Structure 1
Amino acid sequence: MNKIELLAPAGSMESLIAAINNGANAVYLGGSKFSARAYASNFDNETMIKAVDYAHSYGVKVHITVNTLLKQSELQEALKYVGYLYEIGVDALIIQDTGLISLIKSVYPEFELHASTQITVHNGEGALYFREKGLHRIVLSRELSLDEIKYISKDLGIETEMFVHGALCVCYSGQCLMSSMIGGRSGNRGRCAQPCRMQYNLKGETLGERKAYLLSPKDTSFIEDIEDIIKSGTSSLKVEGRMKKPEYVAGVIRNYRKAIDKVEKHKKFDLNKGKNELAQLFNREGFAKAYLYKNVGKDMMSYNYPKNTGVYLGKVTDNNEVVLETNVGLGDGIRFNDDGFTLSKIICNGKEVNQASKGDKVKLFPIGGYKKGYRLFKMSDKRLYDDLKECVKPYKRKISIEGEVEFKVNSPLIITAKFNNKQYKVYGEMVEEATNKPLTKERVEEALKKSGEIPYKFDKIEFTYFDDGFIRIASINNLRRELFEKILKDTSIRRKRVQESIKPKSIKSNESLGLIYSCITKEQLSALMENNNVKNIALDIFFSRHKNALNKNDLKELLEQGKEEKNIYLRVPNIIKQEFTEILKVINEVSSYITGIITSNAGIIKIYRDKLFIISDYKLNIFNRESAEFYAEDVDIPCLSLELNRKEIKEVMKNMNCSVGINVYGKTELMVSEYCPIGSAFGNKSAKKDCNGECMKDKFVLVDRMNESFRVLTDNNCRSHILNSLPINLIEEIDELKSFNVNNFRIDFTDESYEEVKDVLNQINTGRKAENKVYTKGHYKRGVE
């Protein structure tokens, strides 16, 4: 069994120190730019050097997050920053932007790159695709089960990293456009406004409504499952939390270190104590195992409270007394509803005490504000936090070193040490004959075993020679420091920069199709087939369990008609997990009849890049020219991200070597999730119950606090898709886009009626939007931060 990496978050230098002091094998952190946690403290260049040197002095690796999508104007600055990180000895980069990946592989080919979870790798073929592209490690989507992780990690032999503790996005990472489209703050650029933590009203046209924090998942915690996870073959266990305090990092990492050591080194670990400590540090109505064992449903959600709930303390009874459900002490933080206080006095059995235990009946002061019937929660534990604060002190953790000492009269004092299979030797002042009282071995050893602001400490010292002599203790101390600093310097050697010329890309094709329409329902297809100007139609048959939705038979029937005036495409899902083989079968059945496929699934692209004409979906998140060309090796028409504005699209298209597409009409998919809010809210779906088909009995929308309605659709594999409240409509901008050399235009129909499709087709024919309809131009004018 290979030793597994425990990877800790470091949003600050204090968090980095806390992680290392508690046994992290590696840390991940972000710089002042290009990090998916733009609102974390992060590290400027000077602090970054200190962080890298500090971590390396302990043999801890440093992974830097450069995991945001990059605008064309940012690429060269980002590449320059990557060069700086390479020079200061950073071990690996975690990256989302494929354009930057392409540049790094050309300029710094030795730099280890990890595919961010934002790239949405969620099946084996997708993992193989990005490994072929030069990614050393794949940070897997959090939606994978243990069996799926094992298949990719062990069976396919791919180095993977998985999240084991912390906040969970309800949408597949890298696929969420909700924050972006609603408020202009892009999650793909590290500025997510967390709309999933807001309250929503889920409404059916006939089934009524449910109001709660319907998109707010609990944090995950897999501390009970470490042995199974290690056996899966994954290489790294990642803790989420770059926005969390150093004490949180210290507490979580020390418990996962103990859990790992229990498996790898058979050390003792009190699991219940560890779980309680983790819950006290942060939880949202408890923890969830989410998708690890395919548990999808309301059990993984915190419907009632989207923030830290703390640990339940007890319910207030008569006389403002509480029978404690957990221990409590002075200085602890207590919450009731959205209010709270710091505990200043405890009365137990008529006596004032400093702390009380589970089961005690107590009065907690100050009493003002809460009353009978209120539920109290302990939000912070003073003793725990005081203990964890000690873990934040630099150089608290010491690395034991064995040394040899030669203490010979009329010769220099010599200290030798072995570290990392390398020998270090230093020479000090001359040892003099003792005129009065010679130094003892014990006194020399005592001086050598001191350790200040440095990671190392002598654990065992052997004297190869020892005379009755004398040397100043200060001289011994100076020589010890010189030795340790020599080792420290050796761990911080900068890498030599290696630069190569950028190699030209091989572009798969450069075709222009003009307008490409996609549809989900039979009525939409009828409207498209009736229009002689419509030449390219993509059928999405993967919502077929819904009434009037297209299915495989509709596709076959259309293909058998053999209408030469229409080019028929198959729109393939962007997310494909356990149904991968089934979808391959569908594609293979029709591959000789269809013109091509539309998808952003990397696994599908890998399999069919040399077999079929492929148009990408906008969820490939192509933000720059280099990213378009990265995919153009395998995709015939890569489509640009919907987060680019007019100016940015124009900049991307300068000197573009491939044909690209852009969406000019359709309701943007804001979220795609394995979790279904409809089944969970209306059908009582839990981790232990199967889907009951409530989603097919009605039409559902999520209504936010601004009274905007977002349609919720479910596909054949029970994934939920949340659509924007308004369709993007750039029909009037098509001519302008053509002037930028964009020559493929996508029009996507999802929940439009027959008449609405006809209306949009008429708009395209006239080149003007309908005046009586409400649309959005999305980011075309405003863009994202």
Structure 2
Amino acid sequence: MNKIELLAPAGSKESLYAAINKGADAVYLGGTKFSARAYASNFDEKTLEEAVDYAHMYGVKVYITINTLIKEKELREVLEYVGFLYKIGVDALIIQDLGVFNEIKKKFPDFELHASTQMTIHNGEGALFLKENGFHRVVLSRELSLDEIKYISKELKIETEIFVHGALCICYSGQCLMSSIIGGRSGNRGRCAQSCRLPYSIIKKGSGELYKGYLLSPKDMCTIDDIEDIIESETDSLKIEGRMKRPEYVAGVVESYKEAIENYYIKKHSNTENHKKVLMKLFNREGFSKAYLYKNVGKDMMAFNMPKNTGVFVGIIDSNGEVDLVEDVSLGDGIRCGENGFTVSKILKNNKEVLKAFKGESVKIFPKNYRKGDYIYKTSDVELLEKLKSSYLNPFGKKILINAEVEFEIGKPLSIKTVYNGVEFDVQGDLVQEALKKPLSIEKIKENLGKSGDIPYKIENIKFSSFDEGFLPISSLNNARREILQKIISFEIEKYKRQVPVKSYLNDRTLKDKKYAFPEFTYVINTKEQLRALMDLNIENIVIDVFDKSYGTIKIEDLDKLDLTKVYIKIPNIIKKEFNFICDILDKYIKDIKGIVTANVGIISRYKGRTEIIGDYKLNIFNSSSAEFYSNHIDLIPISVELNRKEVIDVVKNCNHELQQMIYGKVEMMVSEYCPIGSTFGGKCENKQCDEPCVSADFELEDRMKERFVVKTDRFCRSHIYNNVPTNLIEELEELKNIGIAYFRVDFVDEDYEEVIKVIKMLQGSLEVYSSKYTKGHYRRGVE
């Protein structure tokens, strides 16, 4: 088992220095474009190359994030950017868009590529699919348990990376469209508005019952207590989230996890309580959770009351305006009281001003932005931050010690030899002279050769193979030292540099042979009412979701009552432990059904060539190169619902494959292992499980603007949140056909019998489309 990698975020130069000085084995960072943290400081080309060289001097790997979806017009630019990254010696790229992956594999076949967590890889079949197609490493979804991580990493022998500390998305990464749909800021484009951190109410329809709070805001994850279990899962890399965080945060988190990892390998017990205290002071939301490592999906992993930094509890204000401290407080500390905050400007102890007060003391804190009975919390620890600041104020504070062999013989050049990383380096300096007065001592030579400035290396252990009591100017010693250290620096930097291939493959497309005659329209349904409406209108090519658990839905056994020759089964996009169960169902009906609809690449890999596969729009196909990649694996390619009209035209113009557009339906904005219904209305029964209120009632999520979104659950207890208004492009049908889209998808989510009939009549032209009831989605506006 190889020693595990600690991978740290570097959203700025200061964070880069902090991460490396505190012991990170690798860092990940973004350029000014194509990064999923578009609002981080990020690096321009000059500072990016400097960052790569700096890291490589320390033997630290650099991974660059290109983990956003790429528009057609950006493909050429992103490939030019990849060429620059290839040239400057970046170790690997973290990729979301399979079109970008497709092009990089053609032009830069030896560039190491990692599949971003934005690719939503959460089962073994999906991980194998990516490995077999050329990914070196898979960054697994945060929703996996330790057992699942171990299976993929150890049993399937796939190089994996997992998140171990920092903020959690409540939706599966790469599947969230909430920020995109509500405000046009796409999480898939690095511009998430963090809609999950806002307050919501969950409402039981018809009863008026509701729960309020920050119902979609999870606590940050912290796994410092679980390092032994995590390392023994045989994952390859432990990733810290936080490219938007300050460098002190990066320093403190890296230092804590590095010590815990090192202690594991030397079989030393880690005092993780001290680490957790530091981590709590740096940032927490109502404490921490272990995310899904131990299969927890309940409300105890949520920060229902406070979506921001909670801080650590300091005490309760008494009737005298004093507080009995349960935590030290210093001038300059940040204090939170309820929703408000302030910086400590004065501390009175026994009516005398002090710079610091300690746990157990009673003090008054100023300014007095609080009242009797208020609970106060420390959100910023000035002493801790000042201590951690040293990690980035001196970029070369960490030294790599080098052994050297020195020859110091009169009449011969000064000779210094060393071996670093298995490579021999040597320099010949000036001639050693006879000492006319005072000869140079061994101690003086060692002192000067052992100096180190703004470089990572320091000559520490010096052995003299020969020594005469001769003389050299100190400047000669310094020059020889600088020369040999510069040779090491140059070698360590230059060995990563590469020549960029000349040939471009961007317009190299291959036509795909048609295997199926696709239906012009497919209709996705999940309830018996919706099915009845379609059957009453003699509609064929129905896509049935038999995995929805909500009230009135179609069950698996209902399939036996249908003529399946014109039926597709909609397969969940998220499939974990139930993978074999779903495959058993598919295998039972595979010869009878027309095909399947899914975005789960594990299922796509398993059933490729066995049945017709229509992709789900959550495959996030943004460009023609992505369509080309998927054309080798699925039969009908869905384009992303985030593209506008002009972008759809761009894709069609450069694509040789059949494309499908969603023309009607409520877009799925989130899918999550966590269920807001079960965590609020679920209650407890004897076996400690949710009593499934979703089966007997319908639920909605209401935001601050009083907009209500559909919340549904599937039979595996995952929650799905849908837009409150259907996207309706029926008026654009002829325009879309003229553009070159020949196939269309109609989605029914919670529509009743009458609403289904209305939509079909709109499609058939016998009923006018009332635009005010619908949205055009991104068709006109698009996303940033």
- What residue number does 2:552 align with? 548
Contact 1:177 / 1:187 at 8 angstroms: preserved in 2? yes
Supply the distance in 2 between the matched residues of 1:668 and 1:508 (Cα, whole angstroms): 31
Query: What SS does the aligned partner of 1:201 have?
Result: strand
Q: Check 1:94–1:769 CA distance in 2 against 1; reply closer, same or farther (3 A cut).
A: farther
Out of 502, 514, 521, the position equivalent to 1:509 is 514
Q: Check 1:631–1:387 CA distance in 2 against 1; reply closer, same or farther (3 A cut).
A: same
Q: Percent identity?
A: 56
Q: How does 1:154-173 map to 2 (within 5 A)?
A: 154-173=154-173
Query: What SS does the aligned partner of 2:149 have?
Result: helix
Deviation at 1:282, TM superposition (A): 0.5
Supply the distance in 1 between the matched residues of 2:543 and 2:335 (Cα, whole angstroms): 57
The letter for the 2-side match of 1:748 is D
Contact 2:550 / 2:698 at 8 angstroms: preserved in 1? no
Deviation at 1:30, TM superposition (A): 0.3
Q: Check 1:620–1:685 CA distance in 2 against 1; reply closer, same or farther (3 A cut).
A: farther
Q: How does 1:228-627 map to 2 (within 5 A)?
A: 228-267=229-268, 269-348=270-349, 352-366=353-367, 368-392=368-392, 393-493=394-494, 494-498=497-501, 502=505, 504-505=509-510, 507=512, 509=514, 511-532=517-538, 534-543=539-548, 545-559=549-563, 567-627=566-626
Query: What SS does the aligned partner of 2:638 have?
Result: coil
Contact 2:8 / 2:26 at 8 angstroms: preserved in 1? yes
- What residue number does 1:645 align with? 644
Contact 1:309 / 1:377 at 8 angstroms: preserved in 2? yes
Supply the distance in 2 between the matched residues of 1:409 and 1:307 (Cα, whole angstroms): 69
The letter for the 2-side match of 1:547 is Y
The letter for the 2-side match of 1:521 is T
Deviation at 1:709, TM superposition (A): 0.6
The letter for the 1-side match of 2:187 is G
The letter for the 2-side match of 1:507 is K
Deviation at 1:710, TM superposition (A): 0.4
Deviation at 1:643, TM superposition (A): 0.2
Aligned residues: 776
Query: What SS does the aligned partner of 1:778 have?
Result: coil
The letter for the 1-side match of 2:183 is G
Deviation at 1:773, TM superposition (A): 5.9
Contact 2:509 / 2:628 at 8 angstroms: preserved in 1? no
The letter for the 2-side match of 1:224 is D
The letter for the 2-side match of 1:242 is R
Matched, 1:141 2:177: no
Supply the distance in 2 between the matched residues of 1:63 and 1:766 (Cα, whole angstroms): 53
Q: How does 1:109-148 map to 2 (within 5 A)?
A: 109-148=109-148
Deviation at 1:243, TM superposition (A): 0.4
Query: What SS does the aligned partner of 2:440 have?
Result: coil
Deviation at 1:51, TM superposition (A): 0.3
Supply the distance in 1 between the matched residues of 2:550 and 2:59 (Cα, whole angstroms): 56
Contact 2:219 / 2:288 at 8 angstroms: preserved in 1? yes
Deviation at 1:40, TM superposition (A): 0.5
The letter for the 2-side match of 1:635 is I
Query: What SS does the aligned partner of 1:182 have?
Result: helix
The letter for the 1-side match of 2:103 is L
Deviation at 1:689, TM superposition (A): 4.1
Larger CA deviation: 28-37 vs 319-328? 319-328
The letter for the 2-side match of 1:444 is I
- What residue number does 2:718 align with? 719
- What residue number does 2:709 align with? 710
Supply the distance in 1 between the matched residues of 2:390 and 2:684 (Cα, whole angstroms): 44
Query: What SS does the aligned partner of 2:637 have?
Result: coil
Runs of 4+ residues over 6 Å off in structure 1: none
The letter for the 1-side match of 2:290 is K
Larger CA deviation: 627-636 vs 267-276? 267-276
Supply the distance in 2 between the matched residues of 1:675 and 1:338 (Cα, whole angstroms): 26
Supply the distance in 1 between the matched residues of 2:602 and 2:529 (Cα, whole angstroms): 31
Q: How does 1:77-226 map to 2 (within 5 A)?
A: 77-205=77-205, 206=207, 208-226=209-227
Per-residue deviation, residues 191-227 of structure 1 (Å, max 9, x unmatched): 0001001111111121511110101111001111011
Q: Check 1:517–1:695 CA distance in 2 against 1; reply closer, same or farther (3 A cut).
A: same
Q: Check 1:181–1:55 CA distance in 2 against 1; reply closer, same or farther (3 A cut).
A: same
Supply the distance in 1 between the matched residues of 2:649 and 2:237 (Cα, whole angstroms): 41
Larger CA deviation: 771-780 vs 121-130? 771-780
Supply the distance in 1 between the matched residues of 2:550 and 2:32 (Cα, whole angstroms): 47
Query: What SS does the aligned partner of 1:162 have?
Result: strand
Query: What SS does the aligned partner of 1:492 have?
Result: helix
Deviation at 1:334, TM superposition (A): 1.3
Q: How does 1:624-639 map to 2 (within 5 A)?
A: 624-639=623-638
Deviation at 1:767, TM superposition (A): 7.2
Supply the distance in 2 between the matched residues of 1:618 and 1:37 (Cα, whole angstroms): 23
Supply the distance in 1 between the matched residues of 2:222 and 2:125 (Cα, whole angstroms): 28
Supply the distance in 1 between the matched residues of 2:395 and 2:728 (Cα, whole angstroms): 56
The letter for the 2-side match of 1:760 is V
Supply the distance in 1 between the matched residues of 2:550 and 2:138 (Cα, whole angstroms): 35
Supply the distance in 2 between the matched residues of 1:100 and 1:37 (Cα, whole angstroms): 18
CA RMSD, aligned part only? 1.6
Supply the distance in 2 between the matched residues of 1:448 and 1:139 (Cα, whole angstroms): 44
Per-residue deviation, residues 616-654 of structure 1 (Å, max 9, x unmatched): 000000000110111110100010000000011011001
Per-residue deviation, residues 8-54 of structure 1 (Å, max 9, x unmatched): 00001111010000000000000011000001110000001100000
Supply the distance in 1 between the matched residues of 2:334 and 2:140 (Cα, whole angstroms): 36
The letter for the 2-side match of 1:357 is F
Deviation at 1:64, TM superposition (A): 0.2
Supply the distance in 2 between the matched residues of 1:356 and 1:473 (Cα, whole angstroms): 51
Larger CA deviation: 266-275 vs 165-174? 266-275
Per-residue deviation, residues 491-519 of structure 1 (Å, max 9, x unmatched): 11111234566465473636432011010
Q: Check 1:247–1:689 CA distance in 2 against 1; reply closer, same or farther (3 A cut).
A: farther
Per-residue deviation, residues 513-534 of structure 1 (Å, max 9, x unmatched): 20110100011001111213x2
Contact 1:424 / 1:487 at 8 angstroms: preserved in 2? yes
Supply the distance in 2 between the matched residues of 1:55 and 1:290 (Cα, whole angstroms): 30
Q: Check 1:352–1:684 CA distance in 2 against 1; reply closer, same or farther (3 A cut).
A: farther
Contact 2:12 / 2:43 at 8 angstroms: preserved in 1? yes
The letter for the 2-side match of 1:411 is K
The letter for the 2-side match of 1:531 is L
Supply the distance in 1 between the matched residues of 2:197 and 2:683 (Cα, whole angstroms): 21
Query: What SS does the aligned partner of 2:255 have?
Result: helix
The letter for the 1-side match of 2:702 is V
Supply the distance in 2 between the matched residues of 1:770 and 1:626 (Cα, whole angstroms): 35
Deviation at 1:336, TM superposition (A): 0.9
The letter for the 1-side match of 2:339 is D
Query: What SS does the aligned partner of 1:716 have?
Result: coil
Contact 2:730 / 2:769 at 8 angstroms: preserved in 1? no
Larger CA deviation: 584-593 vs 409-418? 409-418
Supply the distance in 2 between the matched residues of 1:223 and 1:769 (Cα, whole angstroms): 60
Per-residue deviation, residues 751-778 of structure 1 (Å, max 9, x unmatched): 0000000000000000764328600010
Contact 2:551 / 2:697 at 8 angstroms: preserved in 1? no
TM-score for both structures, normalised by structure 1: 0.97
TM-score for both structures, normalised by structure 2: 0.97
Supply the distance in 1 between the matched residues of 2:45 and 2:178 (Cα, whole angstroms): 32
Deviation at 1:473, TM superposition (A): 1.2
